[in-house]
């Protein structure tokens, strides 16, 4: 493995101290440098000009709102017994952040990869599609593919930053157990507790999030301060997950983040977001990259397959027993 890249001078706008990186206008090397620096500093990056179809995204928001507006009994018909919430519907108040005392104030729907016939159902179960929402399967299959493609481009930047070939991740994510989550935080009372989703780190390689313009997402800085992660309209919030942290031996850190309630005057407004959790293929072994291991940073965690690690973490957040 080659040495880590030395950052080149770049020019990009800054927002509240966090850079906003243009995937369209920065050169591949400049984007890799800026992305790596933002990840090392914050564990997060704001990515604009990602090229996802705005009309497709707008239609996705329409269908997500229609889905969560269904009666509770209709939504609960799409709960998958024993499915660990990996496909279909997960009811309000089910998920809890690792180590948290209170459950999150959200409900969500998961769309996964349409797995090849050889994939074990335990690793990549079939999707569930709501019969009540016309066009749901077509729109979210297209959005899944769009997120998947942009995620691969961003990971090419990660690879460049780490001194790896740009396509280093491609074969490892081609059949990854990635998940597109449709999230709904219903309105809360004026006197509700301050947290909608407890502080946590993500399980996967990277997360690509749309919808963070509606405030509430905060990340914990290295100095122990909570700061808002609010992108320009239509931009992505991208963060390092625990799989990438483990792969890079903590060179790229997975950062704690949370969703807080808005000010009392806005607590009657629901919050919707659309994160894409980009995963490695289940059989891929997560082990520290040699270029990320030094005398001062020895190997911190033993190798583990992506599937075994996912199962371990799903138990920790209460989605499987």
In this structure, are residues 205 and 173 in contact, taking their beta carbons and an 8 Å threshold? yes
Highest mean pLDDT among 81-90, 92-101, 184-193, 231-240: 231-240
HSE, CB side, 13 Å, CA atoms: give it for residue 149: 10
Structure-model confidence comparison of residues 321 and 6, the more confident one: 321
Token representation of residue 311: 């199962």
In the chain, count of helices (H) and strands (E)? 7, 15
The backbone torsions φ and ψ at residue 293, rounded to the nearest 5 degrees and listed phi first, read -110, 125
Q: pLDDT digit string (tens) for 179-219?
A: 999 999 988 888 777 788 888 999 999 999 998 777 789 99
Beta-strand pair 18-22/44-48: parallel
pLDDT tens column, 117-127: 656 666 788 99
The pTM of the full predicted model, rounded to 2 decimals, is: 0.91
CA-to-CA separations, 291 to 164, 200, 248, 288, in angstroms, rounded = 9, 27, 8, 8
From the list 132, 62, 64, 54, the residue with the least C-alpha distance to 275 is: 64
pLDDT of residue 43: 96
Residue given tokens 């309000």 in the structure block: 92
Mean pLDDT of 46-68: 97
Top-confidence residue, 315 or 236: 236
> What pLDDT, on the 0 to 100 scale, is given for residue 100?
62
Domains and CATH numbers, the chain: 14-316 (2.60.120.330)
Q: Is the pLDDT of residue 15 over 60?
A: no
Q: What tokens were used for 292?
A: 């990320």
pLDDT tens for 134-155 read: 999 999 999 999 999 999 999 9
């Amino acid at each position: 493995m080659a040495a880590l890249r030395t950052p080149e001078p770049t020019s990009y706008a800054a927002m509240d101290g966090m850079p906003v990186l243009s995937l369209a206008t920065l050169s591949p090397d400049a984007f890799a440098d800026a992305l790596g620096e933002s990840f090392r500093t914050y564990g997060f990056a704001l990515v604009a000009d990602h090229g996802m179809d705005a009309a497709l995204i707008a239609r996705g928001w329409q269908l997500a709102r229609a889905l969560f507006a269904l009666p509770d009994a209709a939504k609960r018909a799409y709960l998958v017994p024993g499915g660990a919430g990996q496909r279909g519907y997960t009811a309000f108040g089910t998920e809890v952040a690792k180590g948290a005392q209170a459950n999150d104030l959200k409900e969500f729907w998961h769309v996964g990869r349409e797995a090849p016939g050889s994939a074990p159902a335990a690793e990549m179960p079939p999707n569930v599609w709501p019969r009540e929402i016309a066009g749901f399967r077509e729109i979210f299959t297209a959005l899944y593919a769009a997120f998947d493609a942009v995620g691969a481009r961003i990971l090419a930047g990660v690879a460049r930053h780490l001194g790896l070939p740009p396509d280093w991740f491609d074969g490892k994510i081609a059949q990854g157990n990635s998940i597109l989550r449709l999230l709904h935080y219903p309105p809360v009372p004026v006197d509700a507790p301050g947290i909608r989703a407890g502080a946590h780190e993500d399980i996967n390689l990277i997360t690509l999030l749309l919808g963070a313009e509606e405030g509430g997402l905060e990340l914990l800085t290295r100095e122990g301060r909570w700061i808002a992660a609010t992108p320009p309209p239509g931009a992505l919030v991208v963060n390092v997950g625990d799989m990438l942290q483990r792969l890079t031996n903590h060179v790229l850190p997975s950062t704690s983040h949370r969703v807080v309630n808005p000010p009392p005057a806005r607590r009657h407004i629901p919050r919707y977001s659309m994160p894409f959790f980009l995963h490695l293929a289940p059989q891929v072994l997560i082990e520290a990259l040699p270029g990320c291991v030094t005398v001062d940073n020895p190997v911190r965690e033993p190798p583990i397959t992506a599937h075994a690690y996912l199962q371990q973490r799903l138990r920790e957040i209460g989605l499987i027993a």
